[in-house]
Amino acid sequence: MIFLGSSIMIVGAVLQTCAFSLGQLIAGRVITGVGNGMNTSTVPTWASETSESHARGRMVMFQGAMITGGIALSYWLDFGLSFVEQNTVSWRFPIAFQILPAVLILMFILELPESPRWLVLKREEAEAKRVLSALADLPEDNEGVCKAFDRIKDQVLEAANYSYRDLFTMGPERNFHRVVLAYTIQVFQQISGINLITYYAATIFEKYIGLDGRTSRILAAANGSAYFIASFIAPFTIEILGRRKSMLWGSVGMVASMVILAVMNYLSENSIGGSKPGIVSAVFLFVFNTFFAGGWLAVPWLYPAEIVPLKIRAPANGLSTSANWIFNFMVVMITPVAFNSIGYKTYIIFAVINFAMMPVIYFFYPETAYRNLEEIDSIFITTTGWFNAVNAAKKLSLEFGKAGDLSVGQEKTKDNINTVLDSAGGGVVGMKEIGSGNGTVVHEENALSRDVSGENMA
């Protein structure tokens, strides 16, 4: 899918680069968008299905960092081309440049392991077992590898019978509940106001802060670079703070930034304070991006891949990704109109939105850090209403420790998970001797159940 998506992006980029009419340019943009949509809905799922539960968040956070790296590069590229004489090269070259990373993806993506679940679905069982053994660094005939393979095979066969109707049904696994959480978190990311800055930073610096064009472009590029650097905070904090705290702390900083931006722009619009409000505004555009990078940049891409059950994961992730791009488009189109109509009050609206996001995250979104697939399923199977998922997650002990080792002394946890999952046709692989009398658990098959079974490739 990633190979196909990148190929489609290249076709779209070529059409845009060679465009000699508005219609051709729009067609190229649409085609590129289709390819990008395929990639953005696939990569987080693929990364989640080929990562250990205790490292899954970090892997997807690095994906977010690469997104901001591309944004920073595009800022500097546009700044450099602003010195070029205004001809077709000044706009064709930036569009053509996106072909390069897509080509690099095509060159290397086939060397990366395919998702074991997808391989089983396509009946390439020998290759699936080879990938499982490679991910666990164990022989293919290892007992744990065989158990993991059998477990994934059973899950995939069950998932193959899904229909789109399953997205909107509750049932014991509360599919619709989980789809709503996945969709809403993507909406929240976009309506936070991040693309107010990403798309319009140079315009804000020039038109609303009063800087000259060149300085505005330099600051916009510097803001993009700072955004890129700040995005490396999340890979090192996501498993420490967890998903909930990362988003909540990020929202606190984003609310504060938007409030300060509103106040400073009010002062500027009323010619109060001279140039100082403009300087403070410029600083807090950087601050907002920093808090967003630490809490909201990549978690909305990670969380849907974690929380949605395997049976509906592919269509649910596609649906949640559509929310991201739909509301991205909405914010980008509304922002210029809002600035022209209500000025500094635009920031107040985004401050209120960010504040409203916080109780929703706190009351409705269960923590998924260090949870494998079965544990997340059990959270929702034991949930009786929309408000209960968070408490259900708090009550369920971790099957594996924060370093990825099996939690010791967890016979009760094992029994709880097995009871819940057996009622859904599940069970836990490799947990026969959890919590021995001396508190030690050293079993190769147990370690493997952490690394390669369907439990934590969620």
Tell me the CATH number at 287. Answer: 1.20.1250.20
What average pLDDT does this structure show over 95-119? 86
CA-closest candidate to residue 34, choices 13, 61, 53, 19: 13
Listing DSSP states for 290-339 in one string gives HHHHHHTSSHHHHHHHHHS-GGGHHHHHHHHHHHHHHHHHHHHHHHHHHH
401: left (phi over 0), alpha (psi -120 to 50) or beta: beta
Check whether residue 320 and residue 440 sit in a common domain: no
Residue with tokens 């995939």: 156
User: Within a domain: residue 422?
Assistant: yes
Check whether residue 270 and residue 406 sit in a common domain: no
User: Within a domain: residue 457?
Assistant: no
Check whether residue 434 and residue 300 sit in a common domain: no
Listing DSSP states for 67-115 in one string gives HHHHHHHHHHHHHHHTTS-SSTHHHHHHHHHTHHHHHHHHHHGGGSPPP
- The dihedrals phi and psi of 411, each to the nearest 5 degrees, come to -60, -35
425 residue type, one letter? G
**Residues 210-223: tens digit of each pLDDT:** 888 889 999 999 99
What is the domain count for the chain? 2
Contact 68, 31 (CB under 8 A): no
pLDDT value at 47 more than 80: no
Burial code of 375-412, b = ≥16 C-beta within 10 A, e = fewer?
bbbbbbbbbeeeebbbebbeebebbbeeeeebbeebee
What count of residues does the chain have? Answer: 458
More confident residue, 56 or 235: 235
Burial classification of residue 341, based on how many CB atoms lie within 10 Å of its CB (0-12 exposed, 13-18 middle, 19 or more buried):
exposed
Q: How far is Cα 297 from Cα 446, in angstroms, rounded to an integer?
A: 34
Find all residues with CB under 8 Å of 101, minimum gap 6, and list them.
Answer: 70
CA-closest candidate to residue 308, choices 298, 319, 297: 319
More confident residue, 116 or 158: 116
Check whether residue 52 and residue 180 sit in a common domain: yes
What pLDDT shows up at residue 399? 60
Check whether residue 293 and residue 408 sit in a common domain: no
- The residue from 364, 389, 411 where one domain ends is 364
Check whether residue 141 and residue 75 sit in a common domain: no
What average pLDDT does this structure show over 72-82? 89
Check whether residue 125 and residue 220 sit in a common domain: no
User: Within a domain: residue 456?
Assistant: no
Helices vs. strands in the chain: H and E counts, helices first: 20, 0
Check whether residue 68 and residue 213 sit in a common domain: yes
Tokens of 222: 């510097």
Question: What is the model's pTM?
Answer: 0.78
More confident residue, 156 or 379: 379
**Residues 145-179: tens digit of each pLDDT:** 788 788 778 777 776 677 778 888 888 888 999 99
- Indicate the pLDDT class of residue 434, thresholds 50, 70 and 90: very low
Check whether residue 23 and residue 134 sit in a common domain: no
Check whether residue 317 and residue 184 sit in a common domain: yes
Contact 56, 302 (CB under 8 A): yes
User: Within a domain: residue 458?
Assistant: no
Check whether residue 219 and residue 321 sit in a common domain: yes
Q: How far is Cα 268 from Cα 204, in angstroms, rounded to an integer?
A: 12
- The residue from 336, 364, 392 where one domain ends is 364
**Residues 332-377: tens digit of each pLDDT:** 999 999 999 999 999 999 999 999 999 999 999 999 887 877 788 8
Check whether residue 156 and residue 213 sit in a common domain: no
Tokens of 374: 């079965």
What pLDDT shows up at residue 402? 52
Look up the domain containing 376 and give its range: 116-161+369-451
- The residue from 324, 346, 364 where one domain ends is 364
Burial classification of residue 142, based on how many CB atoms lie within 10 Å of its CB (0-12 exposed, 13-18 middle, 19 or more buried):
middle
